Amino acid sequence: MAFPIRSAVAALCAGLAATLLTTAPARAEKQEHAWTVSAGAHAPRARITLDDSTGTLNLSVTRDGRTVIEPSPVGIVTEQADTSRELRFLHRKNRTVEERYRTKSGKRLDRRVRMHETRLSFATPAGARLDLLVRASADGVAYRYVLPAGHGDVLGETSAFNLPPDARAWLGTYRADNEGQFTEYTAATAPTGEYSDQALFETAGGYTLLAESDLTGTYSGARLAHDNGSGTYRVKLADARVKTDGPLTTPWRAMVTGDLATVTRSTFTDDLAPASKVADTSWIKPGTVLWTWLAGGRPAGQSLAAQKAYVDYAAERNWPYEAVDAGWYFKTDAWDTTDPDWQTDSWMPELTAYARAKGVGIIVWIHQRELDTPEERAQWLPTLERWGVKGVKIDFMDSEAQPTLKWYDAVLADTAAHHLMVDFHGSTIPKGIQRTWPHVMTLEGVAGEEKRNNTAAHLTTLPFTRNVIGSMDFTPGAFQRVGLRPNSDAAEAGLAVAYESGLQMFAGTPESYDARPLARDFLDQLPAAWDDTRLLAGRPGQEAVLARRSGDRWFLGGVYAGAARTAEVPLTIGSGRWLVETIEDGTGGLVRNRKVLRGGDTLTVDVVAGGGFAGIACPWRPGVTTCHR
C-alpha cells in the first residue's frame, strides 16, 4: 500500500507545482498593471489600470465597494508626445503625506492632513516620460501629471470623469466669471455644453464634488465638457495651447468624496495646495464688512460724506470693515495716473483716517485694468498701503486662461508685500489659493446677491458646491431687496452663517438693518472666523442647515426651497444641554424663539416658503437666558 500512496502524493505535488508555475506569472502581471490607493477601510479608494493592448490608463474610485467614479481615461498630450496611449509601466513609489497647518479663515482654522500618495512612472515607445501622482485621503482622491523638461507645450488632456448615467448631478453652466446657476439633472441628461468644474454628483458610493487645486500661471484653468446622453465629463482647458518651459507639474484633478456631511466639511482642495507663501500673517484679519454698493451704488462711492456715514454705522455696530465700491476713484473712466498729482486728488486718505479713528478698516474696489502691469501695481499698491487701506476688492478678471493666471501669481505676491487683503470678483474660484496665499479672504465666482434671477434651489445648492472649495463672497444681508431675492428675511440672515467668507460682506442698507433689529443684532454677533463647521441637515436644491463654531458657541444658518414646513434639524453639536436662540419668520416680521435642548435632540423650526432661519446655540446652565454677548 505504501507505493500507491507515495505515487499519489508525488502526482499531487507535481500537479500543484505545475499549477503554481502557470498561475504565478498571470497574478504578477495583473498586479503590475493595476494599482490601488486608499487612506483606510471606509475611505474612498482609487484604482488605476493600464490596458496591456492599448497602453491606456484609467482611474476609477469606489467607497465601501460602491461606485463613485467609473473607469475614466487619464492622459495628457503635448507637442512632443501623446502620453494618453502606448504607455509602458516603469515603477511605483509610495509615501504618506502628513501635515498640520493653520489658516486665517475658512471652515476651521486648524487643519490636519493625512494622505497616501502613489507615484506611477510610465514611458512611451519613443521614450517620452509621464509620472502620474495619485493621492487619497479620508475625504477625497486626486491626481496630477508630472512631465520632465523637453515635452513642449501642452495641447490638451484626455482626462475625463465617467459617472453612472443615472447619477444625480448638480451643475453650473460654465462662465468665465463662474457665476452660472446650479441646476439639478442626472449625469446623462444634462444638456450638451460646458460646466464649471465644481460639479456635484450622487452615486451609490455617496457624493462627489469634482474640483481642482494648485492652479497657477504654469497651466490653464479647467472646465467640464459634456454631451447629452453620456455620463462622461471631459476636462477642457481654457487655452488651446499651454505654454511650458522646462518640467511641468499640472494642477490636481480632485474628487471630494464621502457622505454629504463629509463633502460639505471637507478642506481637501486646500489640503492639496502648497503651504503658505506669506511668512508673517499677523496683519491678515478676517471680519464682517458693511458693503456699500447695493446700499448706495456708484453715487455713494463718489461721495466722501456718504462713506463717512457708512463708517459711522459700521463703528456703531462694531463691524470691523467698510467697503467702498466702484466710483471712488472715477473722474471719467479713471484717474490719469500719468498726472504727478493724481495721488493727492483722492479723498480716500481722509476717509481712512476718519475710519481708523473709529476702529473701522477700509476695503476699496479697484478694476483689474488698474493693476494689469508691474508699473501700474507699483503706482497703486504702495499708495493704498500708505493711505491705510486694509484690503482691495479686485474686479473683472473674467478669465481662467494662462495669461490671467500668471497675472494672479504676480498680484498675489504684490498685494501680500504691501499688506493688502484681497477679495477677487469676476474671478476664478478658490482652487487651493487660500492656503498658499492666506491674505485672499474671499472670492466671488458665484451667482450672488447682486443677481436678480437666483432661485431658492440655487441658494440651497451653494453650500454643497461652490462654498465647499473655499470662501465665497455671496454678499448676504440685502434685506432691502425684497422681491429681488427668492428667500425670506430669516433665510437671508441665515445666509451669513450658511455661507462662509473670510470677509463677510453685508449688502444691506443701514435703514434695512434698523427695520429688522433681530437680524441686525444677530449680525453683530458673528465672529471673524470659525473653529469648526458641521452640516446638520441638507439636500442640494432643497435644504441646507450648517453650524459653525466660535469658542463655545455654535452659529446656525438654515435655508430652504419649496413650500412652508416645520423643519426638523438634528442638533448634532455636542453633548450636554444647549440654549438655542433662533430667528424665524413670523406673521408680522422676524421673531425670536428660545429653547433648551440636549445635544442630539431635534430642533424644530417653522419655515415659510423659500424660508429659513438663523440661530445661536450656547452651553446652558441655570441662569443663562441668552447667547448674545
Are residues 465 and 264 in contact, defined by beta-carbon separation less than 8 angstroms? no
Q: Which among 368, 360, 445, 374 has a CA at the least distance from the CA of 413? A: 374
Are residues 134 and 142 in contact, defined by beta-carbon separation less than 8 angstroms? yes
Specify the pairing of strand 168-172 against strand 182-186.
Answer: antiparallel
List of residues 6+ apart from 328 with CB closer than 8 A: 301, 302, 307, 346, 347, 348, 364, 365
- What residue ranges in 374-508 does DSSP mark as E strands? 391-395, 421-424, 440-443, 503-506
Cell output for 376:
501700474
Q: Measure the CA–CA gap between 243 and 470, rounded to whole angstroms.
A: 28
Q: Which among 224, 187, 210, 198 has a CA at the least distance from the CA of 256? A: 210
The angle, 0 to 180 degrees and rounded to 10, between the axes of the packed helices 517-525 and 304-317 is 80
Strand pairing partners for 57? 50, 74
Are residues 569 and 545 in contact, defined by beta-carbon separation less than 8 angstroms? yes
DSSP 43: S
* Residue 455 exposed, middle or buried by CB count within 10 Å (0-12, 13-18, 19+): middle
Q: Measure the CA–CA gap between 361 and 232, rounded to whole angstroms.
A: 48
Q: Measure the CA–CA gap between 225 and 604, rounded to whole angstroms.
A: 42
Q: Measure the CA–CA gap between 76 and 79, rounded to whole angstroms.
A: 10
Q: Compute CA distances 289 → 361, 423, 551, whole Å.
A: 9, 12, 21
Strand pairing partners for 28? none
C-alpha 490: how far from its chain's center? 25
Cell output for 416:
501680500
Q: One of 450, 531, 532, 601 is an active-site residue; which one?
A: 450
Q: Which among 487, 453, 448 has a CA at the least distance from the CA of 466? A: 448
Q: Measure the CA–CA gap between 248 and 133, rounded to whole angstroms.
A: 13
Would you call 131 a catalytic residue per the annotation?
no
Collapsing DSSP to helix, strand or coil, 416 comes out as helix
Q: Dihedrals φ, ψ of 20, to 5°?
A: -65, -40
DSSP 180: P
Q: Which residue is associated with the grid cell 487645486?
A: 213
Q: One of 177, 395, 543, 585 is an active-site residue; which one?
A: 395
Angle at 121 (CA atoms; ends 120, 127), nearest 5 degrees: 160
Q: Dihedrals φ, ψ of 466, to 5°?
A: -55, -45
Cell output for 4:
500507491
> Which residue type, as a one-letter code, is found at position 254?
A
Would you call 370 a catalytic residue per the annotation?
no
Q: How many CB atoms lie within 10 A of CB 246?
A: 10
Q: What is the DSSP string of 117-152?
A: EEEEEEE-TT--EEEEEEEEETTEEEEEEEE-TT--
Q: Measure the CA–CA gap between 157 and 222, rounded to whole angstroms.
A: 10
DSSP 276: P
Residues designated catalytic: 395, 450
